[in-house]
Structure 1
Amino acid sequence: MGRRPHEPRAARRLRPRSGGDPVRPRALVYGDVDLNLIDGSAVWAQGMVQALARAGCEVTFVLKAPIRTGRLVDPLRALPGVTIHSPHAEGRIPAKIPMPPRWAAGVLAELDAAAPFDLVVVRGHRIAAKLAAGPLAGRLWTYLTDIPQSAPEMSPAKAAELGRIADASRLLLCQTEELRGFLETAVPATAGKSVLFPPVAVLPDRLVPAQDGAPVGDRPLRLVYTGKFAPRWNTLEMTRLPARLAERGVEAEVHMVGDKIHDDPDDPSYADRMENALASAPGVVRHGGHPRAEAMRITAGCDIGLSWRHPELDAGLELSTKLLECGLLGVPVVVNRTPMHERLFGADYPLFVATEDDVVEVLAAVRADPRIHALAARRCRAAADEYTLDAAVARLRSYVRQVFPEPSEAVLGAAPAGRKLRVGVASHDLKFFTRLMDYLKSRPDMEIQVDHWSALKAHDAERGHALLDWADVIICEWCGPNALWYAERKRPGQRLVVRLHRFELYADWPGQLDIDAVDQVICVSPHYRDLTLSRTGWPAEKVTVIPNWVDDTQLDRPKLLGAEHHLGVIGIAPSRKRLDLALDVMEELRRDDPRFTLFVKSKLPWDYWWIWRKPEERAHYEKVFRRIRRSPLLSGGVVFDSYGRDVAAWLRRIGFVLSTSDDESFHLAPAEGMASGAVPVVRNWPGADTIYDERWIHSDTASMAASISASVAGGTWEADRAFAREQVVAAYGLDEVCRQWTELLAAGPSAAATPTAPLPARETMTRG
C-alpha cells in the first residue's frame, strides 16, 4: 500500500511553531524563462515570486540561464523569504548554456531531495512534462501558456500529454477564464484542478501614473512598445507608423523598448529588417533593453501603448501583461478587438483595431479629439485594477489555504500520541468522493490510504487486511459489499463510517449489514436519512446527515452574455429524470419569448445499456425525441451538449438549472447551478424541501416557467442568482462539508451516540 506515482508526499506541516506562527509552505519556482530578456514570461517570473512571498511562502527561484544582467533578478534578491538559485553560478551547468528541460528537471529534483518542497510552481509544458514523470509529481502547480489553444491545434498526442501533466499537478494555473474553459473541455483531467492566476501588473516604487488628459498638442504624439520584436507582434509595422501619421499631418514618435529580436525560420531576413528599422526608420526611438522599472518609466512618459498584433493571435486565450501595465500607468492601448478584450475594456472601447490602416485612423482621431484619449485611459485603468499584485497575493493565499489546511488539535487527539490520524477509504467507485478525498489527503494531521475494489464485488482481500491492520478509521463509500466485508472484520476500537446512497438503499446490502459494527452511517439529505431509518430499523443515533459537497470556488465563474435566457439540465437518464417536463417548461416560455433555450448536458439514454434494454425506457425517449423534432415551439430551442467533466465551464452560459425528476436523494445539479450563479428551478419531488429553499420549489411545470419568466422580465434575475449562490455556499460549500467530515473523523469512538444531522435546509437557508 505504498504511495501511488502521482500521490503527493505527506505535508511537512503538522503543528505550529512555538509562539503559534504556522510553518510557511516551501515553494520552488521554475520557468522556462530567460531573465536576461524583458518579455511577458520574465514579468510573470517576477510577479509569481513576489506574490508567493507575500502570500506566506518561503520561495526558492531557480534560474534557467546564467545571469548577464541583474535588472530583473536583483529586485527579487532583495525580497525577504526569497532565495535565488543559479545552477550555472554553482558550476552544475556549463556557464553559457540555458538549461534544457531534462537538465532543469534533474536540478529541481536534486534541490527537493536535499530539502523537500511543499509546492512546485512551473511554467512551460516541456519542463512540466518532465516533472510529471518524476518525484515532484503531485506537488506541481503548473502554469499553462505555451500549449495548444484551439481545437484544431489540440491533437490527441498533445491532449494526452496535457492529461499526464494534469494528473501530476495539484493545481493548474490559467491566465484567463477562456483558457481554463478550453482546457477543461479539451482535456478532462484538468477539470477541478484548473484555477485562475491572471497576469500580475505592478507599478515600480516611486513611479507616478499619468493623469487622464490629452497628449500635448505642441509635441509629437508619443507611442510606445515594450517587449520582444517578432513578426506576429507587428513590431516591424509599428516602425512605419510615424511616417504614415506624418502623411496625415500628425507628428509622432514610436518608442521601442527591448532587445530580443525573433529569428523567424519562415522569414530568414526578418531579424535584419527589424534591426534596420529600429536603427533608421523615421520617428523611431530605440531604447534597447532596460530593467522593468525603467521600461515602465519610459511607458509612463508616452501617450499611447501599442499592443496591436497579427489576426492569427486573435483567438489566443492569454492576456498580455503589457495591457495591464499600461492601464496602471494611465496609458491607453491600441489593441485588437477580440471577445476577451471586449470583456476587459468594453465593446465600445475607442482604440480597437484590426489593420495597420485602422491603427493610423485611431491615432489620428486621438490627436484630433482629446476625449477619446481620456475615455480610453479610464477604461484601461479600471481594467488593470483587477490584476494588481495585491489581487494576485489574495488569490495565492486562498490556494495555499485550500491545499494546506491548518492541523486540528481534535484530529490529532483522535490518533495515538505522536502520529497522524490514519484514515482508510474503501470503494469500487469514488466519483462522488473525489474532492473530499483531495481534502483529506491535503490535511497535515491525517494519512490516507485507499482500498480500491476493482468492481462492486471484486476485492483484493490481502489489500483489505493490510488496511484493517493500519487504519484508525475506515470510510466505506457506498453501503455495498465493501461495507459488509469491513463490518465483519474491523478491529476492536477501530471506527467504521459508511456512506449510503440511493442506489444501495433499495438493494439487499443494508439488510445484511451488521449495524452494531458500524459507528456512523452517512446520508446526504434528511429525507433519505428518514427513509433509511424506516427501511432498515437502524438506531437513529447511528444515522446522520452530511450533505453532498459543491465546489463553490471552481463553479464561481462569470456568466456569458445571454445566460438569463438559457436553461440547463444535467443528466437525463433514466426516464425518472423527466426530460419531458423540462420540455413542457420550454414550450411555455417560448410561447412568449423565443430567446429561451434549453441546454442538455448528458450522456444519451442509449449510452447506458442497462437503461436502453428496457422497453419502457426506450418508449419514453423515443416519444421525447420525436416531440423535440416536431414541436414548432421547440424548434431550434433545445441543444444537446456532450457529457463530460467540464460542468463549471458549461454552466457559464446557464442562467437557470432545472430539476424535474420524479425523485432524487439530493440532486446535485441545482446546487452546482446555484454555486455558478444560476437560479435553481426545482420540481417538488419528495424531500426537495429538506435540501432546497421553498422559494425555488414549484408544484408543476407551469409554475416553474412562470417563475423563470418573472425573474427575467421583472429584472430580479441578478438578485435571485446572487441570493441562490449565497445560500448554497453557506449550506453545501466544499469548505463547510469538509468541516463536517473533519469533525466526524475527529470524534472519538463514543461519538456515534450523538447524531450530527443538520437543521433542515429550509430553516438554515431561508433569508430572514
Structure 2
Amino acid sequence: MSRTLNALVYGDVDLNLIDGSAVWAQSTVQALSRAGCRTRLVLKAPVRTGRLIDPLAGLPGVTVVRPYEERLLPGQADRPLSPVQASQVLAELDADEPCDLLVLRGRRLVGRVVADGDFEGRIWAYLTDIPQSAAEMTEGARAELTRIAQASQRLLCQTEELRCLLETWVPQACGKCVLSPPAVPEPDSPVPEHERPHDPFRLVYTGKFAPLWNTLPMTRLPALLAERGVRAELHAVGDKIHDDPRHPDFQSAMARALAVTPGVEHHGGQPREEAMRLAADCDLGLGWREPALDASLELSTKVLEFGALGLPVVLNRTPAHEALLGADYPLYVPGRAGLDDAVEAVARAVREPEARRLAADRCRDAAARYTLQAAAERWRAQLDQAFPEAPAAVAARTRPLRVGIAGHDLKFLSRLLDHFRTLPGLDVRVDAWPALARHDPAASRELADWADVVVVEWCGPAAVWYSRHKRQGSRLIIRLHRFELDAEWPGQVDIDAVDQVICVSSYYARRTLAHTGWPESKVTVIPNWVDTDQLDRPKAPGARFRLGMIGIAPSRKRLDLGLDVLQALRARDRRWHLSVKSKPPWEYWWIWNKPEERAHYDAVLRRMQTSPLLEGAVVFDEFGADVASWLRRVGHVLSTSDDESFHLAPAEGMASAAVPALLPWPGADEIYDRRWIHQDPETMASALAELDEDGWRDAGQLARTQVREQFSLHRVARDWTELLVSG
C-alpha cells in the first residue's frame, strides 16, 4: 500500500447506545487509523452522547461526520438515517472526496447501497445479520447475498464458521471473504490480579439488555446465590433495553429490576473504557445466554473484553466457545442453560479458586488474539493485498500498460486477473471466447490492436488466432497446460510472433520443447498459483481420518486407485473416509460419449456399492468454488492420476495443512517434495496410517510451509507482473 487510502465507514447502528454493533464501528475506525488510513466515520443518528465517538477525536486521519448536525440531508429532523438516506449521504460524501473503500455494516443497508450502484467494487461489507441455517437461507436471501458479493471488493466475516456458511451458499463470495473478528482495546491501566475475590463476590455484565441475553434472570443471581450461602452482587453496565414485541413486558420489567433489585448496581451507559474499568474491578463476567443463541456463528465481544481484563466468564457450552476456550473450560453453564444451571456455575467459580484461575487464564489467552493491534495488522495486510504498489517499470510510464487477456476458460487465471486489475498503471481488458474455437473476430481484432501485451490462456485456437494477428510492437504471451500438446494447435501457432510460452512445470516445459521444436529461450516456467491465505483455515474435528480428492473426471484421474488407498486404510481402521469434490463424469459430454469412460465409472460405482470395506465410506460433495471451507474437513489430499501438468488439488490441500499423497505420475517429483510421493496405493495407505495425531499435524504444517514458499498467490503474481512489465 504505497499511498494513504481514504476509507468511509458507516454502520446501521446508533452510536449513542453501547452494544456490540456500536462498539464495532468504534473499533473499526481505531483499527483503520492504526493501519494508516484516512477514515471518515459517518453517524446514523444525531449525537446525544459522545461516549463512543469522543475517543476517536484525536486519532490520526479520523473525521467524524454528523449528518444531522451538519445538515447534510435537508428535512432529516432528528431521526436516525434510513438505509435509503444513508446511501444518499454516502454517495454525496464520496462525490466531494472519493473513497477507496466503503466499510459497511448491516444487511439492509448494504443491499440498499448495492442497489444504488455508486460504490461498485469498493464495498467492504461486514455481515452478521444473515441467515445462519439452511432453513433460513431462502432463495430470496441467497439472491440478495449474491448481489452483495458481486458488488463488494471484500466480505468481512466475524468467524470462520460464518465465512464457510457464506461461501457454501453464495459461490460468488468465495475468494472475497476475509476474517474480521471483534477487536478489544488493550487496557489503558494495569489489570488487577484477581487473586482474592471481593466480598460480596462481584458479578459483571456489560452491553445491551435483551430477553435472549438472559439479562432479566441475571438480576436474580445475587438472591439465589445467597440461598446457597454465597454473598454476591451484580454490576450492570449499559443503557440499551430492547423493546421486544415477542416479550411486551420485558422493557419495563428490565428497567425495574435494574433500579430496585437488592444486590444489583446499575451503572448506566458508560464509555467503553469506563465500562472496562468497572468490569476490571469485578470477579466474574457473565456471558450466559438463552440456548436459542447456541447455534450463533458470531463471537461475543464481551467475552473477549472480560478476557482482556483477566476476568473468567460464565457462558454457554457451544461449539464456538469450545473452539475459543477449549472443551474442558471449567465455567460452562451445563444442561439447558437454565437459571439453576447458571447459579451452579457461578457458585463453582466462587468455591473453586483453581477453576476460576484456569478459566481466567483461558479467557486472557483467547483475548490476546483479538487485540486492537491485531485488528490493525489484519487490516494492513488485507489493504496491502487489495491495493498493491505499482511496479517500478509501470510507474515510470507516461500512460498505463495495456494488458489484454484472451481465452475460452480463464478459471486458472482468475485471481491473477483480479491482481492485474488492482495494480496501478495497468489497464486490463478481456476477450472471453464463448467456446474453445468460437469468438467475435472484431472484438479480438480490437483487443490485438489496442494491447501492449496480450496473454492467451491455453495454447488452443485463441493462441493460433492471436499469433497470426499480432500488432507490431506489442508482445504476446501464451500459457500452455497439458491437453494442448496432444492436439494440432501448437503446430499452427506462429511461434515467431510469440514472445513467451509459459508452462506450469519443468517436465511439461521439456515436453513442449521436444514436441514443438520451439526455441528454448521462448519457453519458461511459472507454476500455478495457490491462494494460501484463503485456504489456511483451522481443521474440523476428525479431519485426520478423511481423505479428499478434487476432480475425478476423466478416468485418468484414477478414482479407482483412490478407492484402493481407502480400502487399505479401512482394513486397519474403520474411521477412514473419502470425500470427493467433483462434477460427475456424465456432466462432461466429451467424456461421457466415450464407452471406455462409461465402463470405468460403472465399475467404480459398482465397487463402492458391493465392497464391505467401502460401503458408506465415500461421500460425493457438490462441485463448486467453496474449496477452502471443504478442505477444513479433509486431512489428506490424494493425487492418483496417470498424468498431470501440475495438479492443483494437492497444493491446495497443502495450503490448508492437509497432508498431500501422490502416486508417481510423470513430473510429480519436480513439483512436489518426494516425501509426499508413494510408489503404489498400498505404500501410500501404510504411510498415512503410520501418522499419529502429532505426526499428521507436523506433516501438515510442513506441507503448508512448502506451498507458501513455492506457489503462493503473492509470489506467482509477482512473477507474472515482472513478465508483463519487462518488455
The TM-score, its normalising length taken from structure 2, stands at: 0.97
Report SS of the residue matched to 2:244.
coil
Q: Residues 212, 285 of structure 1: CA spacing in aligned structure 2 closer, same or farther, 3 A cutoff?
A: closer
Counterparts of 1:403 and 1:185 in 2: how far apart (Å)?
23
8 Å CA contact 1:39, 1:228 repeated in 2: yes
Aligned to 1:165: 148
Aligned to 2:604: 624
Instruction: After TM superposition, list the pairs within 5 Å mapping 1:508-527 onto structure 2.
Output: 508-527=488-507
8 Å CA contact 1:424, 1:473 repeated in 2: yes
Q: 2:82 aligns with which of 100, 113, 117?
A: 100
Compute the displacement of 1:462 (Å). 3.0
Compute the displacement of 1:245 (Å). 1.2
Counterparts of 1:24 and 1:345 in 2: how far apart (Å)?
38
Q: Residues 437, 270 of structure 1: CA spacing in aligned structure 2 closer, same or farther, 3 A cutoff?
A: same
Which moved further from structure 2: 463-472 or 532-541? Answer: 463-472
Which moved further from structure 2: 476-485 or 337-346? Answer: 476-485
1:722 maps to 2:704: no
Counterparts of 1:332 and 1:394 in 2: how far apart (Å)?
27
Deviation string 1:586-607 (CA, Å, 9 cap, x unpaired) is 1111111222211111122222
Compute the displacement of 1:212 (Å). 4.2
Aligned to 2:95: 113
1:520 alignment partner AA: Q
Instruction: After TM superposition, list the pairs within 5 Å mapping 1:40-189 onto structure 2.
Output: 40-93=20-73, 94-133=76-115, 134-189=117-172
Q: 1:391 aligns with which of 374, 380, 401?
A: 374
Compute the displacement of 1:205 (Å). 2.3
Aligned to 2:214: 234
Compute the displacement of 1:314 (Å). 0.7
2:383 alignment partner AA: V
Report SS of the residue matched to 1:711.
coil
Counterparts of 2:195 and 2:577 in 1: how far apart (Å)?
46
8 Å CA contact 1:197, 1:392 repeated in 2: yes
2:715 alignment partner AA: E
8 Å CA contact 1:221, 1:253 repeated in 2: yes
1:74 alignment partner AA: D
8 Å CA contact 1:257, 1:289 repeated in 2: yes
8 Å CA contact 1:257, 1:295 repeated in 2: yes
Report SS of the residue matched to 1:288.
coil
Counterparts of 1:74 and 1:204 in 2: how far apart (Å)?
17
Compute the displacement of 1:258 (Å). 0.9
2:497 alignment partner AA: A
Which moved further from structure 2: 527-536 or 56-65? Answer: 527-536
Aligned to 2:716: 737
Compute the displacement of 1:711 (Å). 2.3
8 Å CA contact 2:401, 2:425 repeated in 1: yes
Counterparts of 2:361 and 2:559 in 1: how far apart (Å)?
48
Aligned to 1:259: 239
8 Å CA contact 1:598, 1:637 repeated in 2: yes
1:710 maps to 2:693: no
Compute the displacement of 1:702 (Å). 1.3
1:357 maps to 2:340: yes
1:339 maps to 2:339: no
Aligned to 2:430: 450
Counterparts of 2:187 and 2:427 in 1: how far apart (Å)?
44
8 Å CA contact 2:547, 2:635 repeated in 1: yes
Counterparts of 1:380 and 1:204 in 2: how far apart (Å)?
15
2:98 alignment partner AA: P
1:684 maps to 2:664: yes
Report SS of the residue matched to 2:410.
coil
Instruction: After TM superposition, list the pairs within 5 Å mapping 1:265-284 onto structure 2.
Output: 265-284=245-264
Report SS of the residue matched to 2:267.
strand
Compute the displacement of 1:408 (Å). 1.5
Deviation string 1:416-459 (CA, Å, 9 cap, x unpaired) is x4122111111222111110011111111211111222222332
8 Å CA contact 1:184, 1:191 repeated in 2: yes
Compute the displacement of 1:529 (Å). 1.3
Counterparts of 2:108 and 2:443 in 1: how far apart (Å)?
37
8 Å CA contact 2:123, 2:151 repeated in 1: yes
Q: Residues 214, 613 of structure 1: CA spacing in aligned structure 2 closer, same or farther, 3 A cutoff?
A: farther
Counterparts of 1:105 and 1:699 in 2: how far apart (Å)?
61
1:445 alignment partner AA: G
Counterparts of 2:632 and 2:578 in 1: how far apart (Å)?
14
Q: 2:447 aligns with which of 467, 471, 474?
A: 467
8 Å CA contact 2:294, 2:318 repeated in 1: yes
Structure 2 unaligned residues grouped into runs of 5+: none
Report SS of the residue matched to 1:653.
coil
Deviation string 1:624-662 (CA, Å, 9 cap, x unpaired) is 111112212223322222211111111111111100001
Counterparts of 2:194 and 2:688 in 1: how far apart (Å)?
44
8 Å CA contact 1:89, 1:95 repeated in 2: no
Report SS of the residue matched to 1:432.
helix
1:372 maps to 2:355: yes
Counterparts of 1:41 and 1:471 in 2: how far apart (Å)?
47
Counterparts of 1:734 and 1:580 in 2: how far apart (Å)?
32
Q: 2:561 aligns with which of 577, 581, 585?
A: 581
8 Å CA contact 2:283, 2:311 repeated in 1: yes
Counterparts of 2:380 and 2:5 in 1: how far apart (Å)?
11
1:695 alignment partner AA: R
Report SS of the residue matched to 1:30.
strand
Q: Between the two proteins, what is the percent identity of the paired residues?
A: 61
Compute the displacement of 1:204 (Å). 4.4
Deviation string 1:288-310 (CA, Å, 9 cap, x unpaired) is 11111111111111111111111
Report SS of the residue matched to 1:705.
helix
8 Å CA contact 1:214, 1:373 repeated in 2: no
Counterparts of 1:115 and 1:498 in 2: how far apart (Å)?
41
8 Å CA contact 2:187, 2:309 repeated in 1: no
Which moved further from structure 2: 161-170 or 85-94? Answer: 85-94
Compute the displacement of 1:562 (Å). 2.1
Counterparts of 2:267 and 2:577 in 1: how far apart (Å)?
55
The TM-score, its normalising length taken from structure 1, stands at: 0.92
Deviation string 1:662-703 (CA, Å, 9 cap, x unpaired) is 111110000001111011100001111111111111111111
8 Å CA contact 2:304, 2:366 repeated in 1: yes
8 Å CA contact 1:484, 1:509 repeated in 2: yes
8 Å CA contact 2:187, 2:308 repeated in 1: no
Deviation string 1:109-141 (CA, Å, 9 cap, x unpaired) is 111122211111111111211222312110111
Q: 2:485 aligns with which of 489, 505, 516?
A: 505
Instruction: After TM superposition, list the pairs within 5 Å mapping 1:605-644 onto structure 2.
Output: 605-644=585-624
8 Å CA contact 1:682, 1:698 repeated in 2: yes
Aligned to 2:645: 665
Counterparts of 1:85 and 1:462 in 2: how far apart (Å)?
50
8 Å CA contact 1:412, 1:421 repeated in 2: no
Structure 1 unaligned residues grouped into runs of 5+: 1-12, 14-21, 749-768
Counterparts of 1:325 and 1:369 in 2: how far apart (Å)?
23
Q: Residues 293, 560 of structure 1: CA spacing in aligned structure 2 closer, same or farther, 3 A cutoff?
A: same
1:267 alignment partner AA: H
Counterparts of 2:212 and 2:539 in 1: how far apart (Å)?
31
2:107 alignment partner AA: H
Compute the displacement of 1:380 (Å). 0.5
8 Å CA contact 1:427, 1:451 repeated in 2: yes
Deviation string 1:570-628 (CA, Å, 9 cap, x unpaired) is 11111111111111111111111222211111122222233223221121111111111
